Amino acid sequence: MGGANIDIVVPIWNKPNETRNCLVNLINFTPDARLVMMDNGSERETEKLLQELADGLDDRALLIRDDSNHGFVKAANRGIGRSEAPFIALLRSTTQVTSGWLQPILDFAASHPEAGILMPRLAAVEPPSTGPIEVASCSFTAMVMTRAAYDAVGPFDEELDGGTWCLKDFTRRACSEGFLTYLIPTSRVFHEDEVALGSERRREETLRRSLATFIERWGEERSFLIHLPKGLEVDTLRHKLDILQTGAQHGDSYTILLPAALYKEALRVHLAFRHEKVRLVPLPLLSTASAKRRIFEKAVAENPGSTLVAGVDGIPFPWSDQFITFSDLSGMVRHR
């Protein structure tokens, strides 16, 4: 089997109504794709549905069955292992794609060879930007990978939690191989929340173990609050953002308080939304010192535990004596 530009892998365990909606939408809105349906030991109703769809699609579908439910991640790895196309999509069976969902992703990938993992917008979640933006993780709800990225990164870690830390680990491994993760807001999908399986205690233990493994591999994720004074040129801001974007790819978060005029210029030259973990917060030109301090205090409350950073060496942080310099921060990013 071959010829499709994208293989769409969907692990499935029961939920025949949701599964039918998911697969029918994929067939209608992605007619040139091949479906790889991973049946995780579903009951007869779902099993029959999948067989009927596979028979109707002929060589546009591959149906793989397991006798029991081994979990989403194992099924995903097995399904991706049977894929052949230049692009691989992975979706939950509770996801519903919309008309035209795939083309913006493929268009962006074609012009950005570093984009190895691409995500559509989840309809219920407001995106951080109206245009494509680099993000720190992906989602099993819906994601698309290039063949080159997946071949370099390898399968999802089946020993992790099957969620947050598994996904973050995957994107970090991709980044270490030179492939970045992007959200494409013009691509949109709907999804339904899934009920977590297993006992709450076991899930908490798995999360703790997965977090410990992630930190051992990649280090702790850190948060920084940076102040930039008046008088900076946009090229200086660009240089600093280059450094911070690298840090964000390593899992760190940055909130930058900067003059409103510089923020406006950053918007004009498309510097304001480069990475979801690098956030620019303007300080209004005519606001009082106390108003600016309130903006700072709000940023601290939103990002507890943040390290304060004076954005220009030699100019102190205005609201605290406890801070590091931007040179210190740059060194931390380089040695991450």
pLDDT in tens, 2-55: 457 999 999 999 999 999 999 999 999 999 999 999 999 999 999 999 999 999
Question: Taking every pair of C-alpha atoms in the chain, what is the biggest distance, in angstroms?
Answer: 71
Average pLDDT estimate for 174-190? 98
Among 99-108, 192-201, 235-244, 298-307, whose mean pLDDT is lowest?
192-201
In a domain, 327, yes or no: yes
Q: For residue 169, give its domain range.
A: 6-216
Q: For residue 126, what pLDDT is reported?
A: 82
DSSP label at 230? T
Clarify whether residues 74 and 164 are in a common domain. yes
Average pLDDT estimate for 67-93? 96
Clarify whether residues 234 and 91 are in a common domain. no
pLDDT-derived band at 128, boundaries 50, 70, 90: confident
Clarify whether residues 288 and 202 are in a common domain. no
Q: What is the pLDDT of residues 251-297, one digit of tens each?
A: 999 999 999 999 999 999 999 999 999 999 999 988 899 999 999 99
Cβ atoms within 10 Å of 205's Cβ, excluding its own: 12
Best CA proximity match to 112, nearest among 333, 234, 243, 274: 274
Total structural domains within the chain: 2
Clarify whether residues 259 and 312 are in a common domain. yes
Clarify whether residues 184 and 233 are in a common domain. no
| End position of a domain, from candidates 190, 216, 242 | 216
Q: For residue 196, what pLDDT is reported?
A: 65
* 180-191 and 115-122 beta bridge pairing: parallel
Q: What is the pLDDT of residues 62-79, one digit of tens each?
A: 999 998 888 999 999 999
Q: For residue 103, what pLDDT is reported?
A: 97
| End position of a domain, from candidates 200, 216, 232 | 216
Q: Give residue 57's identity as a one-letter amino acid code.
A: L
Asked if 120 and 186 count as a contact pair (C-beta separation under 8 A), the reply is no
Clarify whether residues 190 and 244 are in a common domain. no
Clarify whether residues 227 and 212 are in a common domain. no
Residue indicated by tokens 């069955």: 65
What does the alpha-carbon distance between residue 211 and residue 306 come to, in Å, rounded to a whole number?
20
CATH number of the domain encompassing residue 138: 3.90.550.10
Average pLDDT estimate for 107-128? 93
% the chain with pLDDT above 90: 90
pLDDT-derived band at 231, boundaries 50, 70, 90: very high
311: left (phi over 0), alpha (psi -120 to 50) or beta: alpha
Clarify whether residues 55 and 191 are in a common domain. yes
Q: For residue 2, what pLDDT is reported?
A: 47
- Ordered strands of the 307-310 beta sheet: 278-283, 253-259, 223-227, 307-310, 324-325
In a domain, 1, yes or no: no
Q: For residue 1, what pLDDT is reported?
A: 42
| End position of a domain, from candidates 198, 216, 234 | 216
Mean pLDDT across the chain, nearest whole number? 95
pLDDT at 213 over 70: yes
Q: For residue 195, what pLDDT is reported?
A: 64
Angle subtended at Cα 91 by Cα 89 and Cα 93, rounded to the nearest 5 degrees: 145
